[in-house]
Amino acid sequence: MEVLGRLSELEKMVKLLIVKISEISSSSKETMEKMEMIHKVVLIPTGTNLEDIHAKALSFMKSAQHGWILDSGASKHVTGAPDEFISYTPYPSTYKETIQTADGTCQPIKGNGTVKCTPSITLSSVLHVLSFPVNLVSLSALFDQMDYRVSFDQEHCLIQDRRTGKKIEISIRHGGLWYLDGKENGKFLGVALAASMNEDEAKAMLQHCRLGHLSFDTMAKAFPEIMTKTDKRKLVCDACEYGKHKRATYVSRGLRSITPFMLVHSDVWTSPVTPVSGMKYFVTFIDCYSRVTWIYLMKHKTEVLKCFQDFCSLIGNQYDARVKVLRTDNGTEYVNNEFCSFFISSRDLTPNYMS
């Protein structure tokens, strides 16, 4: 009876192994290799020791489950394989803390350590739970440890450095799960980089990178057969944008207005296309406190003063308020005798010019 029970257990394990291989294997060659391993276990001569069969089946199950799975629901990295750790700290036997798994059971934690799950990602504070069947990468813990950005599509997950946009790793989808396996990266790199692009846009971006991040306007002249098929507005290169930044972030100085219309920003814009009405220009007035914007259309830049006077009248009648400071770019449409006369007549209004 004991032998029959062991055989039944082995049969279930082999069936589970076949299911796992069908989920994890990404090519027919790998599948055939693993199927040959199964046949070596199942088709054995009579009289072979069942302990050897059991050990072999366990080893094959372990090799099939070597990948790390991305999990947005886990709060900590977890593994059940002690050989995954490059450094390990065991917990004393008196340690009683447990983790709750998806089926509601609580499993004891044996220790924690550091795991190098891929060549470019090293996880710290990974919990060791002996009975845990898979390796989980907690996205929450990963973001706390490193400044990463993750994007998903139907088949792949791209992990990038949030500040530079540099590719860190690629996760592949198998059986509804996202497996993080560094050995798969080279095969799917091109696909993941083009996850949000069509084929023509992906070709243009690839050529852009090959030419040392040549501008898209110059590429349109040098490679019209590629660029005519794409919309340049959709081609965004993170490396080019970050390379032109003088600093990563700008520290807030707390200079935002504390009351409406205390400070109003203004600028004049030129329309790239002259409309039928002839209103080629428009001026904007932006309240620094609320960020509400008013736009006035103009045929000539000399109409800026008239628009500003109308804006001040609107603010006074509708909100019973007055503009305190007008900030502009020091353009001639603001710096002239007419505007100076208006500022003198409006004692509460002060110009603030910025070059």
What average pLDDT score do residues 234-250 get?
Answer: 78
What is the full DSSP assignment across 32-76? HHHHHHHHHHHS--TT--HHHHHHHHHHHHHHHT-SEEEESS-SS
- Looking at every residue in the chain, the average pLDDT score rounds to 77
DSSP helix/strand/coil, 120: coil
Residue 142 near residue 123 (C-beta atoms within 8 A): yes
Q: At what angle do helices 2-24 and 50-64 cross, to 10 degrees?
A: 20
Token pair 């001026």 is found at: 283
The predicted pLDDT at position 33 comes to: 52
- 3-state helix vs strand vs coil in the chain, percent to 5: 40, 25, 35
> Kind of pairing, strands 135-138 and 68-71?
parallel
Task: Please give the Cα distance from 262 to 249 (Å, whole number).
Answer: 26
Three-state secondary structure of 149-209? EEEECCCEEEEEECCCCCEEEEEEEECCEEEECHHHHHHHHHHHHCCCCCHHHHHHHHHHH
Most confident of 48-52, 92-96, 293-297, 325-329: 293-297
The predicted pLDDT at position 155 comes to: 77
Range with the poorest average pLDDT among 9-18, 31-40, 159-168, 246-255:
31-40
Q: Is residue 226 over pLDDT 50?
A: yes
What average pLDDT score do residues 75-100 get?
Answer: 87
Say which residues have a Cβ less than 8 Å from residue 259's Cβ, sequence separation at least 6: 289
Say which residues have a Cβ less than 8 Å from residue 354's Cβ, sequence separation at least 6: 327, 328, 329, 330
265-281 confidence digits (pLDDT tens): 999 999 888 888 889 99
b/e 317-342 (16+ beta carbons within 10 angstroms → b) = eeeeeebebbbbeeeebbeeeebeee
Residue 310 near residue 284 (C-beta atoms within 8 A): no
Confidence bin at 11 (pLDDT 50/70/90): low
Task: Please give the Cα distance from 126 to 77 (Å, whole number).
Answer: 5
Task: Please give the Cα distance from 90 to 52 (Å, whole number).
Answer: 30
Q: What percentage of the chain has pLDDT greater than the value 90?
A: 19
The predicted pLDDT at position 14 comes to: 52
- Pick the closest to residue 267 from 302, 309, 299, 295 (CA basis): 295
30-73 confidence digits (pLDDT tens): 445 544 544 444 444 444 454 554 454 444 444 445 578 888 88
Confidence bin at 114 (pLDDT 50/70/90): very high
The predicted pLDDT at position 193 comes to: 46
146-183 confidence digits (pLDDT tens): 888 888 887 788 888 887 777 888 888 877 888 875 55
Residue 34 near residue 57 (C-beta atoms within 8 A): no
292-321 confidence digits (pLDDT tens): 999 999 999 999 999 999 999 999 999 999
Q: Is residue 240 over pLDDT 60?
A: yes
